[in-house]
Structure 1
Amino acid sequence: MTRDVHNPILFEISWEVANKVGGVYSVIRSKAPVTIHEFGDRYTLIGPLYYKTAIAEVEPEEVTNPHMKEILEEMSRQGVRWMYGRWLIESSPRVILFDTSSISTRLEEWKADLWKVASIPSPPNDQEVNDAILFGYLISWFLNDFVVRERNAAVIAHFHDWLASVGIPLIRKRHIDLTTIFTSHATLLGRYLCSGSVDFYNNIKNFNVEEEAGKRGIYHRYHIERAAAHCSDVFTTVSQITAFEAEHLIKRKPDGILPIGLNAVKFSAMHEFQNLHAQNKEKIHDFVRGHFYGHYDFDLDNTLYFFTAGHYEFKNKGVDTFIESLGRLNSRLIACNSPVTVVAFIVMPAATQSFAVESLKGQAVTKQLKETIKDITEKIGQRIFEKAARYAGGDIVDAIVEPDELLTNKDKVFLKRRVIALKRGGWPPIVTHNMVDDVTDPILNSIRRVRLLNSPGDRVKIIFHPEYMSSGSPLIGLDYEDFVRGSHLGVFPSYYEPWGSSPAECTLMGVPCITSNLSGYGGFMQDILETPDDYGIYIVDRRMKTTEESINQMADYMLQFCQKSRRQRITQRNRTERLSDLLDWKIMGMEYVRARKLALYRTYPDSFAGVEAGEFESYIKTKIPKPLSAPASPRIKGSSNIADVDDDEEITEEINRF
């Protein structure tokens, strides 16, 4: 049967559709507008139904597609509960959510079938795998019935990560007439191995993957992921480093890379981003005054704010190397007698009991001092006005308030009380909360080991904030995005990071960052930019260098940044912000277009008249920027994922294409 490959129907399947569990949620959510622009009503997302989250995420509506309506009604008659509606995000894509618990009576039957058709084992007590199997069979059931009824258009099913992928081997074994794409956002075994103490990347070719998966109790999960990769028509990952990982652990070389974009409009501030930096930096100043002043003070005009943030993965996120490099940066700043102070924030959620009293007290007394001075200032202004107005018709000398008349004795008493209340003994605290496990916490122990204890002589101060940023917090009082905008440098030297949204978000907001070539984002920027450093993207080599060399390289980067003048930092932020268009889904989404075309070609080669197999790569080639001559514009090298264009006009045309 011939299907229309030029107007295909797309189903995108993920465990995180309208269900925020991890990073895939943000990927699918932010990508939806460009996918809707391409497919319109031919695009539907499918995910699991969790009623608590679905109520807030999805607006139910009547099923309009007659084929879908017929299938869903039939599934209802067989006991399947589902929800159909609009996901309450930008572009409002259609979603179908299936309640896996409603069909749990068929679990054992489907487990036996999965072993029979795909040789995938499933232990009895792994609830997550049980849910994945139920979801996978519901997906294959729905898609099979859909392509039987929809006889004209080609159908693409794009699956994300292993939890949603059980349906792929079922589709292949049952010869269902559609094409499949599987995207691995991180391999299961890779994440488990990296969380241990193994030298992952130097030994990746030597691992016995079956044995390693078995030792970690994920043998069955690993085989679901591996079956999905091998049974899909097109297998993709989100970065070159994950592709390298997948080739050795999953044993299939990916067909392409689907890098993760962002919604640049969300972060766009146009010419205002420098003003936003100044405004939010002042709010961070307020926190730093409350945290440090009273113990001792330093010049905030010569203070730089560095930060790292994310899930608490001490090694994988590179927090260990960050702290070590801060210790060396401190020594170098002291040795060169630098006037610069660095305040380094570590923002990672950990188990806490409450805010630290010392932190709350510092913010409270500083706020009281600020309010007292504001009140006194208003009174002084009123006195000056009154005297000037009273003597306006007399001698001009009588209208001038003398300095000793500005402050009354009452004002002086209030001011002295506030200043005395501000004074505190000891050194400022390292952590802003009372930790549940202060003694064995890896971050705190690492800080203690490098002796960064916020002593007066240290040029590097550390603040560990063990919860996510929130504007409602009594401490910093900034949402994460505003905190990033107010900072000077983001530091994300990850050891295991399939992509890395945090440094990408920094780039979109014009904030320079340090990343590593073991992160997808770092590798992506290293591939396309001739001189990443010039654009505020400092890439630490953690692949070819030893840990010691990587730490020294990062300390060098941070010292270079500290030695920049304010003008140089402003110029660099401008250059960093200019990269934002490269990270927008309007550009990144083109790789999804290529993957879908490749999947259609492999399934329906006869529908691509005159295109030989060897010519297909050039057939689907999509133009995006090449190296530019203007110094202020990003100098792009070009990569395996990127082809050339002729000039700036073509870049603008490409960005506006969707």
Structure 2
Amino acid sequence: MQRDVHEPILFEVAWEVANKVGGIYTVIKTKSPVTAEEYGNRYYLIGPLSTKSADLEVERLDIERACEPVKEALYAMREQGINFVYGRWLIEGYPTVILFDVHGTMYRLNEWKKDLWEKAGIPSPTDDFEMNDSIVFGYLVAWFLGECVHRERKAALIAHFHEWLAGVGLVLCRNRGLEICTIFTTHATLLGRYLCAGDADFYNHLKYFDVDVEAGKRGIYHRYCLERAAAHCADVFTTVSHITAFEAENLLKRKPDGVLPNGLNVVKFSAMHEFQNLHAKNKEKIHDFVRGHFYGHFDFDLDNTLYFFSAGRYEFRNKGIDMYLEALARLNNSLKHFNSPMTVVAFIIMPAANNSYTVETLKGQAVTKQLNETVNEIESKIGQRMFHSAVRGHIPDPKDLFSEQDLVLLKRRIFALKRDCLPPIVTHNMKDDSNDPILKEIRRLGLFNHPSDRVKVIFHPEFLNSNNPVLPLDYEDFVRGCHLGVFPSYYEPWGYTPAECTVMGVPSITTNLSGFGCFIEESVENPSDYGLYIIDRRMKSVEDSVQQLTDTMLQFCQKTRRQRIILRNRTERLSDILDWNRMGLEYVKARELALHRKYPELFEDSDDEIDHSVQKIPRPLSTPSSPKLKSTFTTEQLAEQLSNELQELQTKV
């Protein structure tokens, strides 16, 4: 039976569909609009049911509105007692979602674990609850896809699986011989993340790791088996960057067929100055926090203050926080040595175990708020006195405007600002203060927010939101208010944080060990001219990399306000290259390749001819001891178009 490959049905499977856990949630959420526009009602997102998030993010619908094979498959599963939610995800594009109740089907776990071992040889210990969840989820997905395959006799079916947590479903599709095109995308290898976190010289020894032994040492052998099986069972295997492709080739033992870079939904303002206005507006809110945090020691000029930040998952070494803090200490010494008028307030926004806000943090915001209210009250009284005097035709005497009572009240508020201790480093009471890696490094470096320090450090161990009592800003608004994002990652398969900075017109620092940094090096000539600074962590020693980061931050501190405004304009103009309207083309090509490999007889070109034709334009990956990888999905036309647009952009700038 021949399938219609021109209007296939697409299923995208991920643990983070309408379930915010990590970065893949952002990938799926931001990519969905362009995919939904392409496939319409033939596009379905499949994930686990998380009632907490689904109740807020998903509009539940009757399954009668689904296409025929999907509707019949869901009815069949419901008759077997499987619970699920069918509806629309309340995001741009309004995509259809199917969320399976994993915990409600946990009674079949042992049966399915036994089957997975017997059919695929994948072990699963009893105490790994995340693995248990992924097994139940995978069997539900494979069950559903099998029902769809048996009921859909015309259209081709494509299933795109993201990360190892969705891998069981892919392995079962292959094991059961389902007639469905499969794609597997790894956003970061499990073993790679563990090896880097363990201080291994990862990239120089990547070819020489005994992967089975290393996975066993770290207690993730069963997860590694699942991830490797998914990579080998897929018709098309992809990663999110070339550096991850090289990593996957050596750790998962299959060379990826192509690279699917992550994108963002880029919303352009009608006027260029609008995003600059947002920067000024949100910067003022950060000013309010800084005034309160440094009360009693607030002796620096906010007009000569820069806000740096680093944010993300708490991975001290992988995210480069060790390098960030070391460079900040050196920057502090340099600014003091040159007697610079500039002050840098460096934020670290990373979730860590804590109990609550510290008393000093809350007190600082309270006393400055009280001072502000007192000043506004006195200002109102002075205005009334001026008006009453002027309306009678008299020029008011300045001595009569400021009363003795006002002076006493103001002095009381000023005295309340005094304190004997230094401003706090961390805004919260940490659960294990003495062993926290960030705080230990800050103590070692002596970054204690002393009045003489030109670099002040603030560690906020929670993600930001507008309901925050001390820093009431959503993360996006906070980023817009800052001057520079610093992300000197050692292990970063992609890196959404610097990409988000670019879209919002905020200069950032990344490294050539991050997927985003490699992408920018390939796509932009002289990226530093556009506010994208790339630190070399691949071919330089740690000492040289730290010094390069320090010099980059120091040079940024030496820029004038006008130069920083021009740089933000240039940064924002580069956002087009990160738009899903461009990045989504790589996903289109991945799906086309999967269809070619599954149904070669329905296409004029053979699979070999396709592979050869799309590999003409190489994208090099210059990792130590690594060959240059070529992107399977890069065409000459797309490369030429990108080059022309970048030349036009440089001309405008």
What's the TM-score bracket when you normalise by the shorter of the two chains?
A: over 0.9
Superposition deviation, residue 350 in structure 1 = 1.8
Superposition deviation, residue 583 in structure 1 = 1.1
For 2:4 and 2:354, the matched residues in 1 are separated by 57
Q: Which residue of 2 aligns with 1:390?
A: 392
Answer yes or no: is the 8 Å Cα contact 1:305–1:488 preserved in 2: yes
Q: Does 1:164 align with 2:172?
A: no
For 2:206 and 2:645, the matched residues in 1 are separated by 42
Amino acid at match of 1:249: L
SS in 2 for 1:405: helix
Superposition deviation, residue 615 in structure 1 = 4.5
Amino acid at match of 1:546: S
Amino acid at match of 2:33: P
Q: Does 1:55 align with 2:55?
A: yes
Q: Does 1:644 align with 2:640?
A: yes
For 1:251 and 1:22, the matched residues in 2 are separated by 26
Name the CA shift for 1:150/1:269 in 2 (closer, same or farther; >3 Å).
farther
Amino acid at match of 1:205: K
Amino acid at match of 2:147: D
Superposition deviation, residue 533 in structure 1 = 0.5
Cα deviations across residues 180-228 of structure 1 (Å, max 9, x unaligned)?
0000011111111112121111211111001111111111111111011
For 1:86 and 1:427, the matched residues in 2 are separated by 51
Of 225-234 and 354-363, the range deviating more from structure 2? 354-363
For 1:620 and 1:515, the matched residues in 2 are separated by 28
Cα deviations across residues 283-326 of structure 1 (Å, max 9, x unaligned)?
11122122224224011111111111112111111111100000
1:77-96 alignment to 2 at 5 Å? 77-96=79-98
Answer yes or no: is the 8 Å Cα contact 1:343–1:462 preserved in 2: yes
Cα deviations across residues 472-512 of structure 1 (Å, max 9, x unaligned)?
22322222111111111011111111111111111111110
Name the CA shift for 1:25/1:302 in 2 (closer, same or farther; >3 Å).
same
Q: Which residue of 1 aligns with 2:583?
A: 588
For 2:603 and 2:556, the matched residues in 1 are separated by 53
Q: How many residues align?
A: 629
Q: Does 1:24 align with 2:19?
A: no
1:218-237 alignment to 2 at 5 Å? 218-237=220-239
Superposition deviation, residue 558 in structure 1 = 0.1
Q: Does 1:107 align with 2:109?
A: yes
Superposition deviation, residue 427 in structure 1 = 2.1
Structure 2 portions without partners, runs of 5+: 618-632
For 1:419 and 1:201, the matched residues in 2 are separated by 55
For 1:383 and 1:473, the matched residues in 2 are separated by 38
Superposition deviation, residue 640 in structure 1 = 5.2
Superposition deviation, residue 143 in structure 1 = 1.6
Answer yes or no: is the 8 Å Cα contact 2:163–2:184 preserved in 1: yes
Answer yes or no: is the 8 Å Cα contact 1:611–1:619 preserved in 2: no
Q: Which residue of 2 aligns with 1:443?
A: 438
Q: Which residue of 1 aligns with 2:8?
A: 8
Answer yes or no: is the 8 Å Cα contact 2:596–2:607 preserved in 1: no
SS in 2 for 1:522: helix
Superposition deviation, residue 84 in structure 1 = 1.5
Cα deviations across residues 216-245 of structure 1 (Å, max 9, x unaligned)?
111111111101101101000111111111
Superposition deviation, residue 591 in structure 1 = 0.7
Amino acid at match of 2:356: S
For 2:500 and 2:219, the matched residues in 1 are separated by 35
For 1:201 and 1:165, the matched residues in 2 are separated by 26
For 1:495 and 1:362, the matched residues in 2 are separated by 36
Q: Which residue of 2 aligns with 1:484?
A: 479
SS in 2 for 1:553: helix
For 2:55 and 2:196, the matched residues in 1 are separated by 37
Q: Does 1:544 align with 2:546?
A: no
Answer yes or no: is the 8 Å Cα contact 1:204–1:245 preserved in 2: yes
SS in 2 for 1:167: helix
Amino acid at match of 1:461: K
Give the alignment partner of residue 272 of structure 1, picking from 271, 274, 280: 274
For 2:77 and 2:207, the matched residues in 1 are separated by 46
Name the CA shift for 1:353/1:616 in 2 (closer, same or farther; >3 Å).
closer
Answer yes or no: is the 8 Å Cα contact 2:615–2:634 preserved in 1: no
Superposition deviation, residue 92 in structure 1 = 1.8
1:390-469 alignment to 2 at 5 Å? 390-391=392-393, 399-469=394-464
Q: CA RMSD in A?
A: 2.2
Q: Does 1:560 align with 2:555?
A: yes
For 1:321 and 1:541, the matched residues in 2 are separated by 12
SS in 1 for 2:505: coil
Cα deviations across residues 371-424 of structure 1 (Å, max 9, x unaligned)?
222222222222222111112xxxxxxx21232222111111111111111222
Q: Does 1:242 align with 2:228?
A: no
Answer yes or no: is the 8 Å Cα contact 2:586–2:634 preserved in 1: no
Superposition deviation, residue 145 in structure 1 = 2.4
For 1:153 and 1:4, the matched residues in 2 are separated by 5
Give the alignment partner of residue 156 of structure 2, picking from 154, 157, 176: 154
For 1:616 and 1:8, the matched residues in 2 are separated by 21
For 2:475 and 2:126, the matched residues in 1 are separated by 41
SS in 1 for 2:136: helix
Answer yes or no: is the 8 Å Cα contact 1:267–1:508 preserved in 2: no
Amino acid at match of 2:280: A
Q: Which residue of 1 aligns with 2:309?
A: 307
For 2:131 and 2:295, the matched residues in 1 are separated by 53
Q: Does 1:318 align with 2:320?
A: yes
For 2:262 and 2:270, the matched residues in 1 are separated by 17
Q: Which residue of 1 aligns with 2:118?
A: 116
For 2:240 and 2:646, the matched residues in 1 are separated by 29
Task: Give the % identical residues.
Answer: 64
SS in 2 for 1:306: strand
Name the CA shift for 1:291/1:212 in 2 (closer, same or farther; >3 Å).
same
Superposition deviation, residue 647 in structure 1 = 5.0
Name the CA shift for 1:575/1:405 in 2 (closer, same or farther; >3 Å).
same
Q: Which residue of 2 aligns with 1:255?
A: 257
Q: Which residue of 2 aligns with 1:144?
A: 146
Q: Which residue of 2 aligns with 1:599?
A: 594
Superposition deviation, residue 148 in structure 1 = 2.2
Amino acid at match of 1:490: G
For 2:120 and 2:486, the matched residues in 1 are separated by 44
SS in 1 for 2:44: strand
Q: Which residue of 2 aligns with 1:503?
A: 498
Structure 1 portions without partners, runs of 5+: 392-398, 623-638, 653-658
Answer yes or no: is the 8 Å Cα contact 2:597–2:607 preserved in 1: no
For 1:149 and 1:43, the matched residues in 2 are separated by 17
Superposition deviation, residue 619 in structure 1 = 7.0
Answer yes or no: is the 8 Å Cα contact 1:295–1:425 preserved in 2: no
Q: Does 1:471 align with 2:466?
A: yes
Q: Which residue of 1 aligns with 2:354?
A: 352
SS in 1 for 2:447: coil
Q: Which residue of 1 aligns with 2:292?
A: 290
Answer yes or no: is the 8 Å Cα contact 1:500–1:519 preserved in 2: yes
For 1:51 and 1:274, the matched residues in 2 are separated by 39
Superposition deviation, residue 112 in structure 1 = 3.2
For 2:352 and 2:458, the matched residues in 1 are separated by 14
SS in 2 for 1:37: helix
Of 115-124 and 513-522, the range deviating more from structure 2? 115-124
Q: Which residue of 1 aligns with 2:510?
A: 515
Answer yes or no: is the 8 Å Cα contact 1:532–1:538 preserved in 2: yes
Cα deviations across residues 233-258 of structure 1 (Å, max 9, x unaligned)?
10001111111110110011111111
Cα deviations across residues 47-71 of structure 1 (Å, max 9, x unaligned)?
1223343333322222232222222
Superposition deviation, residue 101 in structure 1 = 3.8
For 2:10 and 2:223, the matched residues in 1 are separated by 26
Amino acid at match of 2:583: M
Amino acid at match of 1:456: P
SS in 2 for 1:45: strand
Name the CA shift for 1:98/1:56 in 2 (closer, same or farther; >3 Å).
same
Amino acid at match of 1:43: Y
Cα deviations across residues 416-448 of structure 1 (Å, max 9, x unaligned)?
111111222232221222222221211111111
Answer yes or no: is the 8 Å Cα contact 2:269–2:275 preserved in 1: no
Off by >6 Å, runs of 4+ in structure 1: 266-269, 619-622, 649-652
Answer yes or no: is the 8 Å Cα contact 1:79–1:102 preserved in 2: no
